[in-house]
Structure formats: C-alpha cells, structure tokens
Structure 1
Amino acid sequence: MKNTIQQFLRDEDGVAAIEYGLLAGLIAVAIIVTTRAIGTNLNNVFTYVSTALAGVANPAA
C-alpha cells in the first residue's frame, strides 16, 4: 500500500496535462487580444481611407 501511494505521488502525467492546458489557454488569450488590436487598427485605416476618398470624383460617372 505504501508503495502504491509513493508511486501515485511521483506520477507527474496529470501535472503535465494541466500545464499544457494552461499554456494553450494563455496562447488563446494572446491570439484574441492581438486580433482585436489589429482589427481595431485596421478599421481605423479603412475609415481614414474612406474619408480621404469621399471627396474624389468617380471618373466613370
């Protein structure tokens, strides 16, 4: 019985799985934050370009 308990305490497979899960969660959060920041900046760029082109006449018209 004592041997089984010691083996259970030395087993680190569950710890590794938890660490991988936490790492995957942190990577997911980093991706979400980055894409939101890029999306906001990209929206600002398109708004600026749209505003700049609003005064330009359409040559096809």
Structure 2
Amino acid sequence: MIRQLIRDFLKEEDGLAAVEYAVLAGAVIAGVSALTAAIFGDKNSSFTAIGTAILNDIKAATGTS
C-alpha cells in the first residue's frame, strides 16, 4: 500500500513542467538583464531586477504570493 503510493508519487510529473518553464523564464530574464547591464553599465539595478524576476517566477510557479 505505502510502496504503491510512493511509486505513484515518484511517477507523477504534472507540476514538473511548470517548474521547468519558470526556471527557463528566469534564465532568459537573467540573460537579458546581464546583457543590459553589460551594454548600459548599471549593474546594481540590473542585479536587483534579476533577483526580482527570479523571485516572481518562483512565486508564479509555486502559486505563492
């Protein structure tokens, strides 16, 4: 009984795609922010934007606020 529940839990991949997309979106935003910082030189606000974007993506993927 317990073994079957554990097997079913490990096979379930419904939420995995959302997390993968959130991580991909965070990586894209980080890349764009890094490119912007390299071009315009405003490093502090760029890193703040990266951190905020990643945090918002994680919140969106997990459904928290």
TM-score using structure 2 length: 0.46
TM-score computed with the length of structure 1 as normaliser: 0.49
Larger Rg computed on CA atoms: 1
